[in-house]
Amino acid sequence: MVSTFTHEFNTPVYKGRASFSTGLYINGKFVEGSDKTTIDVINPSTGKVITKVAEATAKDVDIAVDAAQKAFETTWGLNSGGAERSKLLGKLARLMEEHQQELAALEALDNGKTFTWAMNADTAVAIDTIRYYAGWADKIHGQVQETDEKKLTYSRHEPIGVVGQIIPWNFPLLMMAWKLGPALATGNCIVLKPSEFTPLTAIRMCELIHQAGFPPGVFNLLTGYGSTVGAAIASHMKIEKIAFTGSTMVGRKIMEAAAKSNLKNVTLELGGKNPNIIFNDADLDQAVNWAAHGSYWNHGQACTAGSRIYVQSGVYDEFLAKFTEKVRSLKVGDPFAVDSYQGPQASKVQYDRIMNFIQSGKDQGATVHLGGDRNGTEGYYINPTIFTNTTPNMKIVQEEIFGPVGVVIKFDDEEDVIRQANDTVFGLAAAVFSQNITRAITTAHRLKAGTAWINCVNQIHSNVPFGGFKQSGIGRELGEYALHNYTAVKAVQVNLGYVM
Amino acid sequence: MVYTAKIPVPASNKEISVSTGLFINNEFVSSVDSSEVIQCFNPATEEVIASVVAGSSKDIDVAVAAARQAFKTTWGKNVTGWERSRLINKLADLIERDSQELAELETLNNGKPVAVARDFDIGDSIQCLRYYAGWADKITGQTIEVDNKNKMAFTRHEPIGVCGQIIPWNYPINMWAWKVAPALAVGCTIVMKPSELTPLTALKLSELVVEAGFPPGVINTVPSLGNVGGAALSAHLDVDKIAFTGSTITGRKIMEAAAKSNLKKVSLELGGKSPQLIFESADLQQAAAWTALGICYNTGQDCTAGSRVYVQDSVYDKFIDVLVSTVKETVIGNGFDKNTGGGPLVSKAQFDRVWGYIDAGKAEGAKVVLGGERRNTKGYFVDPTIFTDINSEMKIVKEEIFGPVLSIGRFKTEEEAIALANNTTYGLGAGLHSTDASQCMRVSGLLEAGTVWVNQYNMLSNNVPFGGKKQSGIGRELGSYALEEYTSIKAVHWNIGEKLQWPL
């Protein structure tokens, strides 16, 4: 029996009611998991259970894949025209916009980010992303290549088929939009596993997808654990492609499983330990504000977090003083309070992880310049933290913390800081601050990162590609580039005159 | 003083109100210096249904100034692709909401059947707007590797600027959408001159432009006589680009005026004398159906009308039989009559023109196998007329008639067919019917036309480009290609490391 989750929001920033099914969404219906077990959804502000949702098993993955396969062969895939897919995605965007506040509230409740950020960033950009890809759906072009008069040669960009998508808990709805948009625009059918920590907005989206009119089986949602459902998707023989956003560690497992099963196509968006380089000739006040945004936005739970801040010695002291004041002013509090900047971390697991890193920083001899402790006694709140006086081999300098922890490092030499910035297995993003635009551009071009921000940090646009170098990932999301992840190129060669 | 016309819809209690002023800066205004009006007729009844303000060349100046101001302040580079996308989508939604009323207005002024206007003309227009709304946030340039140490080079695809757009009377709403959508998507502002025969729906659509939320001056609508407003736009020194759909004769004048004034960019969609080839392996029933569509759709008032058909000798007699009985089923009548397949011709001038050609066909010795007889009723109705026994020198074979008048010839070999098909200064469309795939490939490769239909005719899609070779036009509409017509490329060479010694 599938239950309904009902929640009354009565907060200073949002009053409203959410009420929706908590089942798996397969073939257009909400159903229980095959084992009829459930997963607790925890409110990270309090540590208490919000509700239970159905738990999927490997068997449910099979059922969902079959439904997706059937839809691909009948109502979707090459049986659906681009204009139709465009229309449905446009409808979905409109429905998300109608329910934007509710979605933002659910996101804040489930993930712990503030309602204000969820409205202005997460949901707004998610809607924009769906709309952006709605516009691509009828523009999937192949090429005609000139060979000679005896041949007609052309390429078709066909949908791949059934694709598996696994998304993380840090931007649940936004990551879902990044995955849905290009996959549906190009005609694929989806089996998606949201994070077991933050399933609520994904489940809410199923009703909107249904209302928008996507045929049953085109989109399927399986709430479940990585080690069961995620693993089953990664090694499924009938899933032709997997897209994963999450940790580098899990990304490796997924790629391995893909290789061992059916060599399915793999795209990965993994971690980062992103450098933010501030030169003496930076606009310092701006650099301070952007650096704070880089390290503390989303409670530091961003793969692009600018967690290593390199400041040139000429402005180091001034930067640190201003930066400390800025970070000190960030208000930690309830996600639904009017003036909160930062809510709790998303889960106990994350909370423990971050506190362990902070402890390691202390143990390895770094200076806790600000924070470094828990905030309050209930929920997973951590005070924004600044470390200084680090050495390059410290854990807090090498490894991805994924929390509100910034490391500020002094540097002198331009060549050396570029070398230090690139001295990491990661390569997701980097930022450069300098008013000398030539210097900024040439530095940015030398940084080994999939996104190089100049005089800004952590800005995303739906039409600009995003992804990692090195161990930060494979492939690109957003922009036209994302379409390549979800199309299979078929070259057709028509012989008009060669005689064998 | 600016009036609103109230036009009654036949067989109903409804009235459609249309603002009849010039639409400039989001307002309907009088002419600044003229009291001329343009009368709008219902071609089924020959009666005047409304009068609209006739724009003068001074009014064009005012409209261009408004478009320029908007381009410099609220549009052009001052508006994001996402905002343009949002507004164009909103406009599409509003047109969808009002599609029945817009269809009735289109029928009142143009004559085509209401259901066709609503489901095809307007349906396609809505899709066209949505298609280009989807492009608005996808206008990308290139980054180009020149020399990584010293230079960064990239292109920006910028909007051209103020665009004059002149559209015809055969598909008033659809031609409006084809012009407006890509121009807006890329960030251009517009001065639109609808046909003086059919300005009413363009004015009605202007009301929706305001409702959608476009800033003032982004789209301006100035009904005007061709040799007044059209000429003024073509010669205007502050118009960056002109896009015209209409006759080849007028197209020449526009290009000349552009050359003589400020070398504004020119794109033209002109006439056609498009051929269809029926090969012996063709499915004759299907070929006849597509041929009928090709010459009867929109009562033959289509730039791609398949007005010449050449049939292979071996199937000639059979095909003529099938074709005549197929075309005979066509019902030409009042657009508000549900049984009507095609409406009247749009005006007395067109009516006289088409009859002039039918009479010439008879005089030059072609044989009438269907139609060719005048009706003795009100309205500019012309029934489908088919001529056989033609030769290449006849007027009806060489010149664009723009009515439901078909000339049928014959051929023996494929080479002969292609030669006959290409023997024209036009090059807009062409069709071929054959079940021999290699033949389809060969022939489609050799036909000199901007669109070649294989086993089909006249079906277009918003995402497939359309335009003419030879004297049928310059440039392409629809698809991603239309964006190029409204984009101006700027190449940026950014020196990041080179120090120059002078003298070298």
* B90 close contact with A: CB closer than 8 A: no
What confidence tens digit (pLDDT) does each residue in B268-297 have? Answer: 999 999 999 999 999 999 999 999 999 999
Closest CA to B454 of B431, B422, B427: B431
What confidence tens digit (pLDDT) does each residue in B174-233 have? Answer: 999 999 999 999 999 999 999 999 999 999 999 999 999 999 999 999 999 999 999 999
Give the max Cα distance, chain A: 82
The full 3-state SS of B173-239, as one line of letters, equals HHHHHHHHHHHHHHCCEEEEECCCCCCHHHHHHHHHHHHHCCCCCCEEECCCCHHHHHHHHHHCCCC
Report the chain B residue with the minimal C-alpha distance to residue A481: B138
Structural domains in chain A, CATH included, are 4-270+473-489 (3.40.605.10), 275-462 (3.40.309.10)
DSSP code for A62: H
Residue B1 has pLDDT above 70, yes or no: no
Q: What share of chain B is helix, strand, coil (3-state, %, to 5)?
A: 40, 25, 40
CA distance B345 to B43: 7
DSSP code for B10: T
Strand-pairing partners, residue A118, are none
* Of residues A137, A149, A441, nearest to B496 (C-beta): A441
Low-confidence ranges of chain A (pLDDT < 50): none
B 455-494 residues inside an 8 A Cβ radius of A: 462-463, 480, 494
* Of residues A139, A152, A442, nearest to B441 (C-beta): A152
- Cβ–Cβ gap A83/B137 under 8 Å: no
* B130 close contact with A: CB closer than 8 A: yes
- Cβ–Cβ gap A90/B130 under 8 Å: yes
A 260-319 residues inside an 8 A Cβ radius of B: none
* A465 close contact with B: CB closer than 8 A: no
Mean pLDDT across the stretch B471-488?
Answer: 96
pLDDT cut 90: percent of chain A above it: 97
Mutation for testing the A interface, residue in B91, B130, B434 having most A CBs under 10 Å? B130
Instruction: Report whether B106 contacts B208 (CB < 8 A).
Output: no
Question: Is B207 annotated as catalytic?
Answer: no
Write down the residue that tokens 């089924």 correspond to: B44
What confidence tens digit (pLDDT) does each residue in B297-330 have? Answer: 999 999 999 999 999 999 999 999 999 999 999 9
* Active-site annotation holder among B269, B400, B414, B485: B269
CA distance A341 to B167: 54
B 100-129 residues inside an 8 A Cβ radius of A: 127
Which pTM was predicted? 0.91
- Cβ–Cβ gap B140/A463 under 8 Å: yes
Report the chain A residue with the minimal C-alpha distance to residue B494: A438
Smallest CA–CA distance, residue B99 to chain A, in Å, is 18
Mean pLDDT lowest among B211-220, B246-255, B367-376, B488-497? B488-497
* A197 close contact with B: CB closer than 8 A: no
Mean pLDDT across the stretch B454-471?
Answer: 96
- Cβ–Cβ gap B131/A83 under 8 Å: yes
| Whole-number average pLDDT of chain B | 96
CA distance A179 to A185: 10
Smallest CA–CA distance, residue A417 to chain B, in Å, is 19
Residue type, A355: M
DSSP B361-408: HHHTTPEEEE------SSS-----EEEES--TTSHHHHS---SSEEEE
* B89 close contact with A: CB closer than 8 A: yes
Smallest CA–CA distance, residue A462 to chain B, in Å, is 9
Smallest CA–CA distance, residue A222 to chain B, in Å, is 31
* Active-site annotation holder among A55, A240, A269, A400: A269
* Of residues A438, A463, A494, nearest to B137 (C-beta): A463
* Of residues A83, A138, A480, nearest to B138 (C-beta): A480
DSSP code for A119: I
Mutation for testing the B interface, residue in A85, A125, A131 having most B CBs under 10 Å? A131
Smallest CA–CA distance, residue B370 to chain A, in Å, is 40
Mean pLDDT across the stretch B25-38?
Answer: 97
- Cβ–Cβ gap B480/A141 under 8 Å: yes
Measured from the Cβ of residue A91, the count of other Cβ atoms closer than 10 Å reads 18
Report the chain B residue with the minimal C-alpha distance to residue A445: B148
Residue B484 has pLDDT above 60, yes or no: yes
- Cβ–Cβ gap B152/A463 under 8 Å: no
Measured from the Cβ of residue A17, the count of other Cβ atoms closer than 10 Å reads 11
Write down the residue that tokens 């993955």 correspond to: A61
* Of residues A136, A438, A497, nearest to B134 (C-beta): A136
CA distance B261 to B236: 7
- Cβ–Cβ gap B127/A82 under 8 Å: no
- Cβ–Cβ gap A463/B133 under 8 Å: no
* B436 close contact with A: CB closer than 8 A: no
Mutation for testing the B interface, residue in A153, A463, A478, A495 having most B CBs under 10 Å? A463
Q: What H or E segment, with its residue span, contains residue B110?
A: helix B99-110
Report the chain B residue with the minimal C-alpha distance to residue A441: B496
pLDDT cut 70: percent of chain A above it: 100
CB neighbours of A489 closer than 8 A, spacing ≥ 6?
A142, A155, A156, A157, A158
Residue B2 has pLDDT above 80, yes or no: no
Write down the residue that tokens 């015209």 correspond to: B244
* B152 close contact with A: CB closer than 8 A: yes
- Cβ–Cβ gap A135/B138 under 8 Å: yes
* A133 close contact with B: CB closer than 8 A: no
* Of residues B127, B445, B497, nearest to A83 (C-beta): B127
**Relative orientation angle of helices B200-212 and B99-110, to the nearest 10 degrees:** 160
* B135 close contact with A: CB closer than 8 A: yes
A contacts of B130 (beta carbons < 8 Å): 86-87, 90
pLDDT at B277: 98
Report the chain A residue with the minimal C-alpha distance to residue B439: A496
A contacts of B140 (beta carbons < 8 Å): 463, 480
**Rounded-to-10 torsion of CA A48, A52, A53, A55:** 100
CB neighbours of A329 closer than 8 A, spacing ≥ 6?
none
Report the chain A residue with the minimal C-alpha distance to residue B138: A463
Smallest CA–CA distance, residue B134 to chain A, in Å, is 4
A contacts of B462 (beta carbons < 8 Å): 83, 138
Mutation for testing the B interface, residue in A85, A88, A129, A132 having most B CBs under 10 Å? A132
